[in-house]
Amino acid sequence: MGRTIPLPMLILAVLGFCYMLLPILVVVLAGLTAGEFLTFPPEGLSLRWVVAFLQSEKYLSAFFFSFRLALLTMIVATILGTAAALFLSRTRFIGRGAMRAFFLSPVVLPGVVIGFSLFAFYISTGIGLTRTIWGLWIGHILYSTPYVIGTVGAALASYDVSLDEAARSLGASPMRTFRKITLPNISQGIQAGSIFAFIVSFGQFEVSLFLSAPNAEPLPIAMYNSLRYKFDPSAAAAGIFAIILVTASVLLTNRLVNIGRLLEKK
Amino acid sequence: MTTKKTLHTRRSFLQRSAALGAASAIPSTFYINHAWAQDTSYDGGVFDAGGATLNVGEWGGGWEEFVRKALTDQFEKDFNCKINWDSSFPWFPKFVTQGAQDPVFDICNWNLPNLTQTKQAGDFFLSTDEVRENVPNAADCWDFAFASGAGVTWAYMPYVYAYRTDRGDAPNSFRDFWADRFANKRGTYGTENGLMHAFFMATAQEFGKDQYDMAAAFQALEDAMPMKVSEFTFNMLSLLERGEVDIAVHIEGEALSLKRKGAPVDVWQWDSHPILTQTKTISRYADPMQKKLAFALLNRTLSPEFLNAFGDEFMWRPTNSKATITASLAENGVENTAAATEAFWVPDWDFFVENKLDITERLNQIFGL
């Protein structure tokens, strides 16, 4: 079988992958250093910082807190983002473009601005969300939802609406049409959006800096604190576990979706 | 069904407006935390806080892990309270946004430049005198522990040059940092780092008329380029260890920790003897129980037992005259005596904060940031 893409494009693609993957390699190797400090190249290889991470109550609680937070954020962001994308793609009204820009604005604005704005909003309204886990969760949802809107919106843009019309003409209710026709066809977009939401929430730093609750430190904040006060490679070791988690999430989601498709075919 | 008719007249409108106005004033009438809080006193004993929560702003990471084990875990048990630990620095925007009347933390640990900035922004903290009256262990502290005017400094470290001992003669003056042999091998910090703030003030003092001579400091720092600019002190240690930097602005304890690990590194204390401090403040408008707990926690922080343990772990020096200097510092001749602490200099952080924007902008230009 012949090559399907031109050689220059192939070279560019390989270089692009290297560019994206090298920082990950640096994190992994830095976390496996035998030295005292977070440096690259590592001073020998050792699992001592991985063990230190696994024995650190602080890191482990931050890791699992971030995991739970990202999971809950992903669920809500996926529902809200999908609904918003459907609304934007299926309704025609003046100002739709402006509304789309409004929905996507959390991605455009710096995270620090969003974090501080929400912090100030919680305080000025006195709704009891200042420095609470709920307040932090809302911040993460706000920041993650546009990624779902973007990917689901892209899936809907290439979606043939006549499929829905055919289903309706055959007597399917709007809900049944959505469940049986629309949803399966845009599932790839939803899947990609939910993964994005999870990853963005798991790695979110700026919003968390202002909204995180006492005694509930997300992993990026814990890593930042470690770098501020110790600069030992346990932060990189934590990074290794974060990379493993995110990769596993992507693979697992892919697998679940594929299984769903197989079942559907049967 | 009959309906009651309401007659809207100008008089009734004014009456309702007045009533609404009075009602809206009620919360401020009930805002009497301050009055109660002024009556809060603490005598040094243990009391039952009935499960109250104390909001604490403190550093995170390894620092938090140690302080929890050595201080706050036992404190929670003894006083029947819960500590809400927040390590998401910076504190300044949080204090200012939430306002003095509704303090974000009941007790908070600071470096002086940030504390001064917050202190200048409002009536957030009890004065030093108010704290001293209610914290018995403060009576044993050296005078410089109260120099901030808000709160009490409980630990400190002199600013030093950390230098590699295998790269020629040791520095013996502040200006040695500018020696030609250290070109591009000298290290300092980004403009948001407190060590850079102290270095700037010490440079002004050394090269100018006094510590307020900013022009002289800018010129000297320009002359010091090229420098390696780092964000964190521990990152600087790794640069020193790898030999990418031969001399660096640093603090005593952290730099000596590298020496303890066998690296060819030693420290030289600046002639002007500025010190990096850890200062705890207590919020003026904290609720009475929280304020009492804050007094108690500060009292325990100042206890020789905790300060000795903390010094052994992180090599900070205690401000309590009854505490001891950790062995590794004592071996180098460090003492905790009145004479040994006399020379310490606390730069005028009020001046620094007032000029911080200009200083930051100009330093960023010099560093090419």
Listing DSSP states for A148-187 in one string gives: HHHHHHHHHHT--THHHHHHHHTT--HHHHIIIIIHHHHH
Q: Are B253 and B267 in contact (CB under 8 A)?
A: no
Look at residues A56, A51, A74 and name the one whose alpha carbon lies nearest to residue A223.
Answer: A56
Interval A127-140 mean pLDDT? 92
- Contact: B232, A119; criterion CB under 8 Å: no
Please return the burial class of A42, using the count of CB atoms within 10 Å of its CB with bins 0-12, 13-18 and 19+. buried
Domain annotation covers residue A22: no
Q: Are A188 and A154 in contact (CB under 8 A)?
A: no
Domain annotation covers residue A62: yes
Nearest by CB: B234 against A119, A215, A230: A230
Q: Is A38 helix (H, G, I), strand (E, B) or coil?
A: coil
Domain annotation covers residue A36: no
Domain annotation covers residue B15: no
Do B235 and B264 have their domain in common? yes
Do B150 and B291 have their domain in common? yes
- pLDDT for residue A264: 56
Q: By CA distance, what is B85's nearest residue in A? A: A214
- pLDDT for residue B6: 39
Tell me, what CATH number does A99's domain have?
Answer: 1.10.3720.10
- Contact: A209, B84; criterion CB under 8 Å: no
How far is B232 from chain A, CA to nearest CA, in Å?
A: 6
- pLDDT for residue A234: 84
Domain annotation covers residue A41: no
- pLDDT for residue A228: 72
Nearest by CB: A231 against B89, B102, B238: B238
Instruction: Work out how many domains chain A is built from and give that number.
Output: 1
Greatest Cα pair distance, chain B, in angstroms, is 102
Do B126 and B258 have their domain in common? no
User: What is the band of A261 on the pLDDT scale with cuts at 50, 70, 90?
Assistant: low
Residue A39 pLDDT > 90: no
Whole-number Å distance between alpha carbons of B48 and B45: 10
User: What is the band of A263 on the pLDDT scale with cuts at 50, 70, 90?
Assistant: low
Q: Which residues contact B369 (CB under 8 A, 6 or more apart)?
A: B190, B191, B229
Question: Which tens digits make up the pLDDT trace of B257-299?
Answer: 888 888 999 999 999 999 999 999 999 999 999 999 999 999 9
Do B261 and B294 have their domain in common? no
How many CA within 13 A on the CB side of residue B142? 23
- Contact: A215, B85; criterion CB under 8 Å: yes
Q: Are B90 and B302 in contact (CB under 8 A)?
A: no
Write the DSSP assignment of A202-224 as a string of letters: HH--HHHHHHPBTTB--HHHHHH
- Contact: B60, A232; criterion CB under 8 Å: no
Do B242 and B329 have their domain in common? no
- pLDDT for residue A15: 94
Structure tokens at B108: 């908070």
- Contact: B65, A36; criterion CB under 8 Å: no
Residue A253 CB coordination number (10 Å): 16
Do B249 and B185 have their domain in common? yes
Domain annotation covers residue B343: no
Do B59 and B198 have their domain in common? no
Mean pLDDT of chain A: 87
Please indicate if any CB of chain B lies within 8 Å of the CB of A209. Answer: yes
Of chain A residues 53-82, which have a CB less than 8 A from chain B?
A: 56-58
What are the φ and ψ backbone dihedral angles of A230, each rounded to 5 degrees?
Answer: -140, -40
Q: Containing domain of residue A238, as a range? A: 56-265
Residue A153 pLDDT > 80: yes
Of chain A residues 82-121, which have a CB less than 8 A from chain B?
A: 116, 119-120
Domain annotation covers residue A47: no
Whole-number Å distance between alpha carbons of A175 and A162: 16
Domain annotation covers residue A123: yes
Domain annotation covers residue B90: yes
- Contact: A228, B232; criterion CB under 8 Å: yes
Nearest by CB: A119 against B59, B84, B97: B97
Stretches in chain B below the pLDDT threshold 50 = 1-37
Q: Which residues contact A255 (CB under 8 A, 6 or more apart)?
A: none
- pLDDT for residue B38: 56
Residue A120 CB coordination number (10 Å): 16
Look at residues A146, A151, A141, A153 and name the one whose alpha carbon lies nearest to residue A74.
Answer: A141
Domain annotation covers residue B341: no
Do B74 and B212 have their domain in common? no
Domain annotation covers residue A17: no
Tell me, what CATH number does B77's domain have?
Answer: 3.40.190.10
Question: Which tens digits make up the pLDDT trace of A163-190?
Answer: 999 999 999 999 999 999 999 999 989 9
User: What is the band of A259 on the pLDDT scale with cuts at 50, 70, 90?
Assistant: low
Between strands B152-164 and B52-57, the pairing is unpaired
Q: Are A61 and B87 in contact (CB under 8 A)?
A: no
How far is B216 from chain A, CA to nearest CA, in Å?
A: 30
Which residues from B are below 8 Å from A38, CB to CB? 235, 238
- Contact: B65, A120; criterion CB under 8 Å: no
Side chain identity at A129, as an amino acid letter? Answer: L
Do B114 and B196 have their domain in common? no
Q: Are A83 and A91 in contact (CB under 8 A)?
A: no
Whole-number Å distance between alpha carbons of B318 and B307: 6
Structure tokens at B87: 């390590």
Whole-number Å distance between alpha carbons of B86 and B94: 11
Which residues from A are below 8 Å from B104, CB to CB? 131
Do B128 and B162 have their domain in common? no
Instruction: Work out how many domains chain B is built from and give that number.
Output: 2
- Contact: B97, A208; criterion CB under 8 Å: no
Residue A211 pLDDT > 50: yes
Do B113 and B244 have their domain in common? no
Q: Containing domain of residue B310, as a range? A: 45-155+276-336
How far is B328 from chain A, CA to nearest CA, in Å?
A: 19
- The b-or-e profile of B41-64 (16+ CB within 10 A means b, else e) is ebeeeeeebeebbbbbbbbbbbbb
- pLDDT for residue A91: 87
Side chain identity at B344, as an amino acid letter? Answer: F
Structure tokens at A73: 């954020």
Do B175 and B282 have their domain in common? no
Whole-number Å distance between alpha carbons of B24 and A155: 51
Q: Is B109 helix (H, G, I), strand (E, B) or coil?
A: strand
Domain annotation covers residue A7: no
Between strands B228-230 and B186-189, the pairing is parallel
